Amino acid sequence: MSGAPGIRGHRVSGAPGIQDVARVCAALDRRAFLRGLGLAAGAGLLPTGCDDAPGQFAPAPDQELLHLTPRSYAVLTAAAERIVGGRGADWIRSRQVDPGAHADAFLAAAPAFAPPLEQALLALEFAVFPLIGKLRPFTSLSEAGRDAVLSELAGSRLELKRMLFGGVRAISLLGFYSARETHALIGYPDPDQVGGATIRDAMTYPLDW
Amino acid sequence: MSRHLRSEAVVIGSGAGGGPAAAALAESGLDVLVLEAGPRLSARDFSADESEMRLRLGRALTTADAGQSLYAGRCVGGSTVINDCLCWRTPPEVLDSWRREYGLVDLDDVNFGSFVERVWRDVHAEPTDRSHINRNAHRLELGARRLGWAAGPMWRNVRGCAGLGRCNFGCPIDAKQSSLVTWVPRAERAGARVLANARVDRIRVEAGAVAGVDVTTLHPDTGAPLAALRVDAPRVCLAAGVLASGSLLQRSGIAPHASGRGLQFHSSVYVTGRFREPVHGYFGPTMAYAISEFSNVNGHAGPGYMLENTAVQPLQTASVLPDAGELHARAMAALPHLAHTVVVLRDHTRGRVETRRDGSVQIHHALGDDDLARLRHGMTRAAQAYLAADAVEVHLPVHGYGPVRNESDLERLALIPLDRSRLSLVYAVHLFGGAVMGGRREGSVCAPDGACWDVRGLYVTDASGLPSNTGVNPQITVMANALRVAAGIA
């Protein structure tokens, strides 16, 4: 198995899932610095080419996005690859699973979450320099570079940075694990799966098992 | 153009507080209109798609400090559609406290108990037999047995449960006896009308008496406002859920001294065990077994929490497992081998609901140090139970804490400061207060009979009227109180 190396050095308890997307959004939404960063990015005040989504992680040319911008889609995809880790990272890289598309669909159903998450993704894209001292956007970093940024956020003493990581982690895992095709990766049996685990398997066992 | 309806009684909400009230009032002969902000779905609409159903059936919220997440039902049937079917009678210590501390003198084992028994029968509470204790629950059972802790199967309101593991997404075979399949149809059989996608914006008061409600109808798919609706009614039962009820009182200018206050939770955290053998925790009843050793009700004198097994669904599990990258992927890849236990704390912390100028709700509730310490205690005990049940490793929802493989790995937990950002996965699973009953007008919204002190004809029948948390899953208590209040109206 050629999995992503993962984020080493820091174990984090982020907060994905729908409830935790809400939780993290609430925190991020109140952070003026994130809003400022988002505005600055939008105005092209931050370094490096901010106009187009990096090709490696960009949405397909004919892909219609309802809430995410091409750039925030790319940031999410780049982050999700590292956050999901393992074989899931391979699946994201090979586009077998598209967490950006699933996250976009989620935001279409819950549009209130879109602005803070957009800000969080932009902040991640353009906050590389203060975190690891490189003047490059997150999406142009190597796998190791992206891991370093995420680790810096996750293990930060500053709550704001940890919350930023929590927000990106939340939407990444939501985007990935809400895709039905990921069930095979984690052994979750689909109802129409032949030969998979059954309810009976869950209900029978030796009493001292 | 605004539509106009009349009714003898309006019930705002259709869950554990609204459903029984609507049924009781309709059966007493009143013309009842039930207004529910969420959509009306039925068994055929309930899919196994975890994220889709969570979005359709409820809404996610958070406390103002982002320290806790909440998920409230928003559909016909309310939170009873997405709960875990657990049934507990109101503990005698809780009733005693309500009588002594809050002046609810009629809420004794006989008076209140008779309503509890009616609900118990009407929602078909039944013991969970051996055949419904799945491997997930059995792991907790085994740990409790080996440690000698008080524990047992819980009672559930089900008929013909097939163990699909989808209680939280809406039961697709109507085995769960939620308000959607019990109280609401019963109210309709007695003539009640149920209007879904109808959000109450304001309770109208004229000359000290309730005059009706102002409503906005919502698009069933998008939730976008469609039209204004005015309803005239001399009786209004408020059962919109703790957050919405308190907020609606505030928006209506009713009982400003007490509305939104007295908020209290059962806060919870998840502990995950990984076992050598497959557990298949996504199948079977979502919750079935509880360790009550550490409870402080029903004769126990513990620190005040329950340990209850809970289902292992993909998205939820991704949420509660710590770590990221390779570590997270490895834990997720073991999904069939995972079991979850939730620590359900009887909080001491009190909070309040505030309605902002734009009408949105802000929840002020920051867990106090004492509650955080008891959550830490609960996590430790849950991990010990799983280790006693031969868990290979246990995952705690704490920043920077690796898998626990033995008792000594738990010792470090005492050294970790559990502020909101380190203990990020805290869920408020049950909510109480915001429009509380009390023996005195000061500090309460309602009299002990549920009637609003300030507005004639207005009653509170949901958990917002309860003056404190119960230490056990509260749906039976809420339903019983709704029947009790409704009996005084009809």
Give A75-100 as a 3 state SS string.
HHHHHHHHHHCHHHHHHHHCCCCCHH
Q: What is the structure's pLDDT at A2? A: 31
Residue B253 is classified by DSSP as T
Average pLDDT of the residues of chain A: 76
Query: CA-based diameter of chain A, in Å?
Result: 65
Tell if the CB–CB gap between A14 and B324 is shorter than 8 Å: yes
List chain A residues with CB under 8 Å of B431: none
User: What are the φ and ψ backbone dihedral angles of B471, each rounded to 5 degrees?
Assistant: 80, -5
Average pLDDT of the residues of chain B: 95
CA distance B124 to B104: 28
Q: Which H or E element spans position A183?
A: helix A183-186
Q: Is B242 left (phi over 0), alpha (psi -120 to 50) or beta?
A: alpha
CA distance A84 to A98: 12
Residues in chain A: 209
pTM of the model: 0.90
CA distance B81 to B76: 8
Query: CA-based diameter of chain B, in Å?
Result: 69
Angle at A133 between CA A130 and CA A139, to 5 degrees: 85
Closest CA to A107 of A15, A14, A25, A13: A25
Closest CA to B462 of B151, B18, B46: B18
CA distance B449 to B377: 38
**Tokens describing residue A61:** 């040319």
Per the model's pLDDT, the better-predicted residue between A40 and B43 turns out to be B43
User: What are the φ and ψ backbone dihedral angles of B156, each rounded to 5 degrees?
Assistant: -140, 145
Tell if the CB–CB gap between B329 and A27 is shorter than 8 Å: no
Measure CA A53 to chain center: 16
Closest chain B residue to the Cα of A84, Cα to Cα: B325
| pLDDT of A55 over the 60 cut | yes
User: What count of other Cβ atoms lies within 10 Å of the Cβ of residue B47?
Assistant: 14
Is the complex ipTM more than 0.90? no
**Tokens describing residue B419:** 């502020």
List chain A residues with CB under 8 Å of B365: none
* Total CB pairs under 8 A between chain A and B: 213
- Sign of the alpha-carbon dihedral angle for A175, A180, A186, A191: positive
| pLDDT of A10 over the 70 cut | no
List chain B residues with CB under 8 Å of A24: 66
Closest CA to B240 of B60, B481, B16, B469: B16
Contact A124, A75 (CB under 8 A): yes
CA dihedral of residues B368, B374, B380, B382 (deg, nearest 10): -110
List chain B residues with CB under 8 Å of A31: none
Q: What is the structure's pLDDT at B218? A: 96
| pLDDT of A18 over the 80 cut | no
When CB atoms are compared, the residue of A23, A88, A185 closest to B69 is A23
List chain A residues with CB under 8 Å of B279: 202
Contact B294, B301 (CB under 8 A): no
List chain A residues with CB under 8 Å of B280: 197, 201-202
pLDDT category at A24 given cuts 50, 70, 90 is low
Q: What is the structure's pLDDT at A47? A: 42
Tens of pLDDT, residues B183-237: 999 999 999 999 999 999 999 999 999 999 999 999 988 888 999 999 999 999 9
Tell if the CB–CB gap between B329 and A7 is shorter than 8 Å: no
Q: Of A34-48, A117-131, A190-204, B346-360, which one has max mean pLDDT? A: B346-360
CA distance B124 to B176: 9
Tell if the CB–CB gap between B400 and A10 is shorter than 8 Å: yes
**Tokens describing residue B420:** 């909101």
Q: What is the structure's pLDDT at B420? A: 63
When CB atoms are compared, the residue of A12, A166, A174 closest to B51 is A174
Tell if the CB–CB gap between A150 and B279 is shorter than 8 Å: no
Closest CA to A85 of A155, A163, A177: A177
- Stretches where chain B sits below pLDDT 70 are 1, 399, 419-421, 423-425
User: What count of other Cβ atoms lies within 10 Å of the Cβ of residue B475?
Assistant: 28
Ranking A32-46, A100-114, A138-152 by mean pLDDT, the lowest is: A32-46
**Tokens describing residue B377:** 């205690």
Tell if the CB–CB gap between A188 and B283 is shorter than 8 Å: no
Measure CA B287 to chain center: 14
Tens of pLDDT, residues A108-124: 877 777 888 888 898 89
Tell if the CB–CB gap between A22 and B62 is shorter than 8 Å: yes
3-state secondary structure of B5: strand
Interface test with B, best of A186, A193, A204 (most B CBs within 10 A): A186
Q: How many CA atoms are closer than 13 Å to the CA of B356, on its beta-carbon side?
A: 7
CA distance B120 to B63: 33
